[in-house]
Amino acid sequence: MTPGAARPGAEEPVSGLMNIGQVLELLRPEHPTISIPKIRFLEEQGLVSPERTPAGYRKYSHADVERLRYVLVLQRDHHQPHKRIAEILDAIDRGLEPPPLMSLTPTVPEVALSPDGMPSPESFRRHDDLRLSRKEVLKIAEISEELLSQLEDFGLVAARPGTGHFDTDALVVCTTARELAEYGLEPRHLRAFKAAADREVGLVEQVVAPQRRATDAAAKARTEDTVAQIAALSLRLHATLVKSGLTRL
């Protein structure tokens, strides 16, 4: 779908402009985690520019809604950062054809998310067999050899022993590190995240240590479920504590 394209079956007003609440209801069926602050943030990033009434209220056209849909698809399904999305939209605004959304380039497998956007327990049960070469990681994550080497030096990513291949988690770390680098955060700054993660892993290991002594299949399944549940809960707690701390800045 491209910005401005009509979507068959969409329940939208036949004519006229829409307020932000109406836009939210149109987008929510396809993007359950969308919110009014998210829409406003995309506007702040210059990705959509609704009209303003004399009183300052936003009014969105059908083209604005389709543009938002396109942006959200690029984020969710194609893992594009805001800077790249802005470049694509600028090219479209200048009359160029949008890039095809289907790509032969491998992408990061989907991670199971709960309605609030946090990784669900299912995401911690996922064990895929993705194996990427160093060259593929550099290409898909869009990072330099220097950045990858720094991430390795600080223990943030590592190739699988004996194979030299990288897995899904390494690819996600590399992609996230690239996006954080746009805000001036270098790999050396990310060591605190690794240290915090190691401490949380240690806590989970303490909880499940007694269960690991059992050898039957049912016990192993219970252990895996416990790990997944605690991991999801600890990540939620971590994210909420960070969010709470940032409100005091």
**Which pTM was predicted?**
0.53
Q: pLDDT tens digit string along 76-90?
A: 888 788 888 998 898
Task: Provide the pLDDT for residue 230.
Answer: 87
93, 108, 137 — which closes off a domain?
93
Q: Give residue 19's pLDDT.
A: 93
Per-residue pLDDT reduced to its tens digit, 212-230: 777 777 777 788 888 888 8
Residue, of 40 and 9, whose pLDDT is higher: 40
Q: Is the pLDDT of residue 121 over 80?
A: no
Q: What is the pLDDT of residue 11?
A: 45
Does one domain contain both 165 and 231?
yes
pLDDT tens, residue by residue, 160-210? 888 889 988 888 899 889 989 989 999 999 999 999 889 988 988 988 888
Share of the chain above pLDDT 70, in %: 83
Q: Is the pLDDT of residue 238 over 50?
A: yes
pLDDT of residue 143: 93
Residue 200 structural domain? 121-246
Domain endpoint, select from 76, 93, 110: 93
- Which residue, of 73, 93, 113, is where some domain finishes? 93
In angstroms, the Cα distances linking 24 to 12, 89, 165, 176 are: 12, 21, 42, 27
CA torsion, points 237, 243, 247, 248, in degrees to nearest 10? 60
**Residues 32 and 69 placed together within one structural domain of the fold:** yes
Residues 234 and 141 in one domain: yes
Report the candidate in 9, 26, 17, 114 with the shortest Cα–Cα distance to residue 61: 17
> What integer pLDDT is reported at residue 111 of this predicted model?
52
On whether residue 107 sits in a domain, the answer given is no
Q: Predicted confidence band at 7 (pLDDT cuts at 50, 70, 90)?
A: very low
234 and 127, same domain (yes or no): yes
**CA angle (42, 47, 48) in 5-degree steps:** 85
Reading the block at residue 85, the tokens are 């999305």
* 54 and 166 co-located in one domain: no
Which residue, chain included where needed, has tokens 């800077």? Answer: 83
User: Quick one: pLDDT at residue 3?
Assistant: 59
